[in-house]
Each structure stands twice: as structure tokens, then as C-alpha cells.
Amino acid sequence: MRNFLFSMLLVSCGHATATTSNDTETGADVSGGDATDSFGGDASADAGLPPLPAPTITLPAACGVGGPQFCNPLDGQGCEVGRTCDLAADGTWQCVAAGDAVGEGATCSGLTGPFCGKGLTCFGTLGSSATCKKLCCGAGSCGASPCTPLDAIGISKGGVGICAANLPEPVTLGNQSGGVEGRGFVKTWKTWREALALQMAYYATACDDVGGYPLLASATHFGSDCNASGSSEVIPAMQDGTAILSYLEYDAFTGHVDPRWIKTALRYGDYLVNEAVTPNDGKWPGVFRSTGKPMTFPQAPDCGIRSDQPYEIEPDKLGIAGYALLRLTAVTGVQKYAIAALHNATVLAQNMTDGSATTSPWPFRVDYRDNTPNGDISGNMVWNLRLFDTLIAGGRFELQPARDKLWKWMRDVQIPNAAGDGMLWAQFFEDQVLPNNRTAWAPAATASYLLERREQLDPDWQKHAEILLKFVEANFVDAWQGFPLCIEQDFDRKPYGGVLSTYAQAEARYAALTGDADRRARAYMAIALLIQSVNSNGCPGHRALDGGCGGWQEDAHTDRVHNILAVLSAFPGWAD
């Protein structure tokens, strides 16, 4: 790895608060500033949008809610023709499509229909005999039957219930039992805050270190026994990069009270810069490896595995790891991480092409020795853009031409392609080689960055984010046990934790800025089902609605936690 002596301002994005430090190893001085997003409350005001719609419907006092609602569940007041008021997937009373509007006592499903009519809700979705029951408020509203309150949250928490003696029996969702009410609201087994705490504690204590690092730094596949001997690979740049982001964000979320989280983030950073880089020669010297052999220190020159050839790297993964390391320096003041990030960005700029209607500015894979490309399209360009933008904000203006060329291609070619066949969003996952394998991960991550930076990045941020989200929703949202969930890619259509939480982050950011109730509901549903995947000991499964512990660890943990915390930055009340 080259040594760069530089003095720069690093901007700490997201929650983490930066510190200033003088690193004696390099003599470089790095100071960071806080640039947190202004989500929560009326985020649209900060974005220059019209104010978010406010609830205006007052319910009877017997309903016991804390204030006005968006609609009246008892009679549908506030909803247009063709819509009815029901408990939405985010746990609040919202106008939703009426569908068949079947009557009281009729068979129903709150997820797939038939849907219940005005003043009714589906009782027992996913159970053996789901039927429409009358909504009610207070004693006497159901005649001789009791009115049992539903589990609404937020502004809708109160006494609105159903005419029944009990709530529906819980059903198994992933690793835990949970309730399903209304139009897919999942009553989780723990609060999101509690489940995250269990998950973080599990990874802090369950497995012994290997090679002086957390097992998760050098192995991608293992389960509750912490046995990674059968693991076929590690994906260092992706897995360790997102781990750094997750641990930094969790440290901030919990108020910087437990030093383990920053210490663990530093260890992931050390693994990246010490053990998982290419040799210091060739066209791509000293850059992060996309794949490697598990539990190997350091990775050998020919460590490429899965669908990477032995000497190949994936250039898009440099942006993920590089940006994470900039964040790590901004928080800790340790300069070697920023030095590594700058080096990777410089090599990216040196090997960049213009891009075209059929090629991205970097290929999906490249032989680091001689720059031989493998795969014309790499769908994930946004993290390289993040890396460039953060370094330029810190004064590295020599990267501006490469950054501008990249953004021009994304804005003028790649993003509009999402309104067409979407083939410029193919190729992201290291275990795939099919050139037409489009993914949901890259467009969702790009939408999130647009929604995070807004006018600072793109005057047309809302239009472009909408194009990307519609592309994901149209092509990658499938029904799983009736739940509409984002799946990973064209040729592996499963709701893995990484992509599902990435999608939820984008949907939540958009909803917080625009008041889009449907996207808010989808974001809540996605994360609620990931919360259900956490075992009682804290070990998460790697997919929504599946059991088990671990598996693909970036889906179970590293690429999940930071996305959940981004959703909570948009809707803080969902934590508890």
C-alpha cells in the first residue's frame, strides 16, 4: 500500500460524530465534521418540498388515540372512492385499496385479498380461518361481544379494536411467532431496538477470533456453531466495508456508551488494509479484494474465488470499502484508513472509461495485473460516487474530473435505463456471471444516495429516485407467504437481508420526504420481518421468513444493521 501524506477534511455522513486526531504514523491531520441527515418529523421542509400531509380526522373519544388520524377506521371517512380505512403495514390507520370489499364474516386475507369492506378488518391473516370482523371503539360498540384493541402504533396507538374476544393467534414468521393484523402489520416479537441489541451482543460474544480478527472479518458463511471450515469464500470489501458502517452507526444509535462497537469497526478496518489487498504492482495495485479464501491472512495474489477468476477484482466494491474507511477515520482520527481509501479512489480514477449505452465506466470484473475486463456492465456505481464525493468534500479536488464523468453517465445514461430494460443495472453479486442478471441492490442503493443528498447531488433527485424505486418495485418485489418483499436479483429471487434492508432504506427515505404512505408501509414491513428472523440468542437468519441462524453473513448482519438504522433515522418512533 502506498503512503500518502495529505491533510484533508473528511465529512462524517449519517449518525456518527467525527473526532479530530493527529496520527503519528503518517503525520497527516484529519478532522471530521458532522453532516447528519435531517430525517424524522417533517423531512420535506428541509428538502424544499411541500409540507407533508397532516392527519385531520378526529376519532370518537372512546377510540383512545392521541390525536387526529389520516382516516376513520369505523366508517372510512377521509378515504376516496375505491379505498377504505384499515390498519396499514406500518401500524397506522391509512386509506388503502378496497379491493373486493367483502362483508362481515367473509373469508379474507389482509395481504393478498379478498379485502374487507368499510368498517371491517381481516382477522387471522395467515391463520386457518381468516374472516372479516367489525372494527370498534370501547365497551358496548360490539353489543354483547368485547372490543379487543388492535396493536396499532405511533399516532394510531389506542383503543381501536375488533369485535372479538381475543386477537388472532400468532403465526410463525422466520424464527419467531408474530401477529399479523390489518393489511399486513407485523407485531414483532421484540422491539426493533431490543432485537438489534440481541443481534449485536451475539456477534460480540458468540465466536472466537480467528487470526486476530473477528471470525466475521474473514469468513462469509457460518452458523450458530461458528464453524466456518466449510465456508467457500470471504467477500472482504463488501462484508467488512458494510460491517464498519453498521458498527459505527450502531455506536451512534446507542449513544457512544459501549466502546466495543468502535473497537470492532477498527478491527474490520485493519483486516481490510492489512490482509485483503492486491499486490503493489500491476494496473490495480494495493486495492481491496472482492473475494478471497476464508480465514486466510493475508490473502494470496491469486485468491479470487466464486465467479471471480484468481487474479480478478470487482472495481465497484472499492467504493464500498473505501467510503466505509473514510467514515472510520472521521470517527476515530486514525489516518491509515483514509490513506487506503484515497489510494483506492486514485486507482479507480486512473482506470476509468467514459461508459456508454452498453458499458459502465468500469467493468464488473477486471484482472488487477493487466486491466483485462470481464463483464461490460457493473450496476453498482453509486458507492464509487460516494467515495469520490466524500474525498472531494475533504479537499481532494484532483478526483473531480473522474467524479463528474461518473455522475454524468449515471444521470444521463444509467438512471434513465431503469425506465427501460434495466440492463445497465445488471451484475453486482460475486457468485454470479450472467451478464443479464439485473439486481435490486444497486438501484435501491442509488435511490438512497439521491434521497440523502438531494439538491446537493441532483436537482432532479425526486424524479430520478422515483424512476429507480418503480424499477425495483416492478421487477423485484415478489410475494413471500403473501408479503410483498424485495428479492435480490433476476436469477436468485429470494428476500435476503442485505437487499431487503437496502430497499427498505430507500423506501423509508422517500416516504419521510414525500409522505408516501404506501412506501412507508413497505419499509416497515420489510424491517419487521427481518426482526422476526433474529433468534432468541440474537443470531439472525440471512433471509426474511426463513428459519435458521447465520448463512450468508453480510445478509444476516453486516449489510443489514446500517440499513435498519437508516430506516430509523427516517422514522425514529419505529425503534420502540
Segment 255-258 long-range contacts (CB within 8 Å, at least 24 positions apart): 256/17
Task: Give the count of beta carbons closer than 10 Å to the beta carbon of residue 76.
Answer: 21
CATH 1.50.10.10 location in the chain? 8-36+192-575
* Closest among 338, 319, 320 to 328, alpha carbons compared: 338
For residue 277, report the phi and psi dihedrals to the nearest 5 degrees: -125, 160
521, 111 Cβ separation under 8 angstroms: no
Average pLDDT over residues 73-100: 96
Q: What is the DSSP string of 176-221?
A: EEEEEETTTEEE-SS-HHHHHHHHHHHHHHSS--BTTB-HHHH-SE
Q: Could you tell me the pLDDT band of residue 287, with boundaries at 50, 70 and 90?
A: very high
**pTM of the predicted structure, to 2 decimals:** 0.93
User: What's the CATH number for 8-36+192-575?
Assistant: 1.50.10.10
* Closest among 287, 247, 288, 252 to 266, alpha carbons compared: 247
Q: Could you tell me the pLDDT band of residue 43, with boundaries at 50, 70 and 90?
A: low
Q: 151-196 pLDDT, tens per residue?
A: 999 999 999 999 999 998 899 999 999 999 999 999 999 999 999 9
| Residue 531 to residue 30: CA distance in whole angstroms | 37
Task: Cell numbers for 508, please give them.
Answer: 423509508
146 CB-contact burial (10 Å; exposed 0-12 / middle 13-18 / buried 19+): middle
384, 432 Cβ separation under 8 angstroms: no
Task: Cell numbers for 9, please give them.
Answer: 477534511
- Residues with Cβ within 8 Å of residue 353, at least 6 apart in sequence: 359, 361, 362
* Closest among 188, 194, 147, 156 to 71, alpha carbons compared: 156
pLDDT at 5 over 80: no
* Closest among 82, 60, 86, 81 to 71, alpha carbons compared: 86
Q: 466-508 pLDDT, tens per residue?
A: 999 999 999 999 999 999 999 999 999 999 999 999 999 999 9
Q: 234-248 pLDDT, tens per residue?
A: 999 999 999 999 999
pLDDT value of residue 12: 36
CA contacts within 13 A on the Cβ side of 545: 17
